[in-house]
């Protein structure tokens, strides 16, 4: 669990992360969606809030021409979500647990180190 984010649930704040790479995920009805991996996420005061987060590749992220190691600043809201395996296969079952994410990134821009 991301404990530093848990303390800030529902807070809207500015964050800074390091772009690692692009990825993909399966979306609604099997459509492939592009994603962005940011690592070493810090808040505006420099406090590390989590080691990594995946975001959908929004127009704001796509417009930045991101390169690995580049720094990205954005505003987002801290939200709770439930993660785990919710299928019926016993061999891959994993209990559901609460975790925290950053939702709806806005004012996305590249910044210096």
- Distance in angstroms (rounded) separating the CA atoms of residues 14 and 8: 12
Asked whether the predicted pLDDT for residue 113 surpasses 80, the reply is: no
Q: What is the pLDDT of residues 4-52, one digit of tens each?
A: 888 888 899 999 999 999 999 998 888 999 999 999 999 989 999 999 9
Domain that holds residue 76: 3-111
Local structure of residue 93 (DSSP, 8 states): -
Structural domain tally of the chain?
1
Instruction: Say which CATH number the domain at 98 has.
Output: 2.40.50
Helix (H, G, I), strand (E, B), or coil: what is residue 18? strand
Q: What is the pLDDT of residues 50-93, one digit of tens each?
A: 999 999 999 999 999 999 999 999 999 999 999 888 888 888 87
Task: Tell me the whole-structure pTM to 2 decimals.
Answer: 0.86
């Amino acid at each position: 669990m991301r404990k530093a984010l848990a303390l800030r649930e529902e807070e809207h704040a500015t964050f800074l992360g390091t772009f690692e790479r692009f990825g993909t995920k399966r979306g609604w009805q099997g459509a492939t969606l592009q994603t962005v991996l940011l690592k070493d996420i810090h808040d505006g005061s420099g406090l590390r809030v989590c080691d990594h987060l995946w975001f959908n590749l929004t127009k704001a992220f796509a417009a930045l021409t991101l390169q690995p190691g580049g720094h990205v600043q954005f505003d987002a809201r801290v939200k709770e979500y439930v993660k785990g395996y919710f299928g019926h296969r016993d061999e891959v079952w994993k209990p559901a647990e609460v975790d925290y994410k950053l939702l709806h990134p806005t004012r996305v821009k590249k910044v210096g180190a």
